[in-house]
Structure 1
Amino acid sequence: MNFQPYRSPSTGRPVRAVLFDTFGTVVDWRTGVAREVAAFAAAHGHTLDADAFADHWRALYQPAMDAIRSGQRGFTKLDTLHRENLDAALRHHGINPDQFSRETLEELNKSWHRLPPWPDSVEGLAAIRRHYIVGPLSNGNTSLLLDMARDAGLPWDVIIGSDMTGTYKPLPQAYLRTAEFLDLEPGEVMLAAAHNSDLQAAREAGLATAFVARPTEHGPGQAVDLAPEGDWNLVASSIPGLADRLGA
């Protein structure tokens, strides 16, 4: 029997590519960053709350991109923003970044390149890939996403980083330019994400949408994105569950 791709009721088109928000949806950034920060602190004789450090470093992410999205600053890749924010996070936790070599801080900054996948991610992506194009639709830059894929074993078909689209989500062009690179209409692309705001922006740009719940992305006390907050096309509790909903 020939496979029939999922047809999105919101776009009226069959889905050809399922692209994923990556930080939090496919990989567990909090665990990965905290693990590397803890090792860094121990190696250099510092004591800190690694989970709190990871949370603070991540909290600087959106404000840094806001300056670019608003036009106050030209496009700057995420690796550079993370590196700038690392100095601020270290100082916030009472550690002077000037005591470390540039190479040492660059290596810590690459924590974001080595994030572990959620336990279901690789299996689920491989299942979806049997019938759909799969790749990230992320604010990460291409080299970051490539390193992450190789380290975590993510079976992407294609990687289009934000440095290729030249913009950051949730601006519409982040979604539309990614579809253009694939020579697809926006409605033939589905964004799968654990973040309702990302899905709302994707829908407004004309993409199909799928919510994948990640209720511990921000730790055991997470209070946001615990459930879908819109009538997204599909809702799943895991990526294999999404594969099932897609008929893959």
Structure 2
Amino acid sequence: MTALPGVKALVFDTFGTVVDWRSGIARDARTFLARHGRGDADPVAFADAWRKRYQPAMEAVRSGRRPFTRLDVLHRENLDGVLTDHGLDPAGIAAEELDWLNRAWHRLDPWPDAIPGLLRLRAKHFLAPLSNGNILLLANMAKRAGIPWDAVLGAEAAQAYKPQPEAYLRTAEILGLQPGEVALVAAHNGDLAAARRSGLKTAFVLRPTEHGPNQTTDLGAAQEWEVVTDSFEDLADRLGC
């Protein structure tokens, strides 16, 4: 008996659930900062500072203060602020250099269990990201890392950022499925709670080092999600894949 009866599609939060954003951003930030005379700066702190601007930037879209704007654009705007905070003037850096660093979000590595687990899950389920990332970002990430999506659905498809209900409901509609035929797989309780409110099934996957060794959030399931696990491979076991 599968742990998610009736579910035809698994959709995945991506940043933190499928890929390790913190290490990937720090890797490229280290190169960039050294190239621009700030080799003394902490690249992990740089990654955290950049990510800290993520939710406030999307909130401007969610609240209607600005029209829908893809994440690549928001990341690029946020990068200017982070560079300024680190003593660098974005206006004095070549556009190609800034674009290279902004594309660090396209070059993130999957967690070790992600690809093996996804390959198994794909045998019985349709797989797609349900991410705030944009289509090009997610497609480039998948191409580089070998992430075996059946389709790449970026936030442009839903024209909404999680946790807005439209992000979940429009994704199900695009797939031609009822919300209850779709399960969100995520390492974030808030994301799962919003998906559940929209009628999706839920699977929590523990990622205790997404925010580093001293992480204090999402260290356990906050609700009785349909599945609670610590890896994609165990999720595949639970779903009979």
Instruction: Specify if TM > 0.5.
Output: yes
Asked whether the 8 Å contact 2:13–2:129 carries over to 1, the reply is yes
Answer with 41-50 or 236-245: which moved more: 41-50
Q: Confirm whether residue 78 of structure 1 aligns to residue 71 of structure 2.
A: yes
* AA aligned opposite 1:218: H
Q: Paired residue for 1:11?
A: none
Q: Paired residue for 1:37?
A: 29
Aligned match of 2:199 in 203, 206, 211? 206
Aligned match of 1:158 in 151, 157, 176? 151
Aligned match of 1:123 in 95, 107, 116? 116
Q: Paired residue for 2:97?
A: 104
Q: Paired residue for 2:224?
A: 231
Q: Confirm whether residue 26 of structure 1 aligns to residue 18 of structure 2.
A: yes
Asked whether the 8 Å contact 2:17–2:207 carries over to 1, the reply is yes
Q: Classify the secondary structure of the residue corresponding to 2:203.
A: strand
Once residues 197 and 106 of structure 1 are traced to their aligned partners in structure 2, the CA distance between those partners, rounded to angstroms, is 31
Q: Classify the secondary structure of the residue corresponding to 1:87.
A: helix
Q: CA RMSD in A?
A: 1.0
Q: Paired residue for 1:149?
A: 142
Q: Paired residue for 1:133?
A: 126
Q: Which runs of 5+ in 1 are unaligned?
A: 9-13
1:46 Cα deviation (Å)?
Answer: 1.5
Once residues 233 and 35 of structure 1 are traced to their aligned partners in structure 2, the CA distance between those partners, rounded to angstroms, is 35
* AA aligned opposite 2:54: Y
Q: Paired residue for 1:173?
A: 166
1:24 Cα deviation (Å)?
Answer: 0.1
Q: Which runs of 5+ in 2 are unaligned?
A: none
Cα deviation, 1:80-123, whole Å, max 9, x if unaligned, reads 00000000011111111111111110111000000000011000
Asked whether the 8 Å contact 1:6–1:15 carries over to 2, the reply is no
Q: How many residues align?
A: 240
Once residues 93 and 12 of structure 2 are traced to their aligned partners in structure 1, the CA distance between those partners, rounded to angstroms, is 35
Q: Paired residue for 1:17?
A: 9
Once residues 215 and 7 of structure 1 are traced to their aligned partners in structure 2, the CA distance between those partners, rounded to angstroms, is 24
Answer with 14-23 or 97-106: which moved more: 97-106
Q: Confirm whether residue 216 of structure 1 aligns to residue 209 of structure 2.
A: yes
Q: Classify the secondary structure of the residue corresponding to 1:211.
A: strand
Answer with 222-231 or 39-48: which moved more: 39-48
Q: Classify the secondary structure of the residue corresponding to 1:67.
A: helix
1:5 Cα deviation (Å)?
Answer: 5.5
Q: Paired residue for 2:240?
A: 247
Q: Percent identity?
A: 56
1:6 Cα deviation (Å)?
Answer: 4.6
1:7 Cα deviation (Å)?
Answer: 3.9
User: What stretches of structure 1 move > 6 A for 4+ residues in a row?
Assistant: none
* AA aligned opposite 2:23: T
Q: Confirm whether residue 63 of structure 1 aligns to residue 56 of structure 2.
A: yes
Q: Classify the secondary structure of the residue corresponding to 1:104.
A: helix
Provide the TM-score with structure 1 as the length reference. 0.95
Asked whether the 8 Å contact 1:20–1:191 carries over to 2, the reply is yes
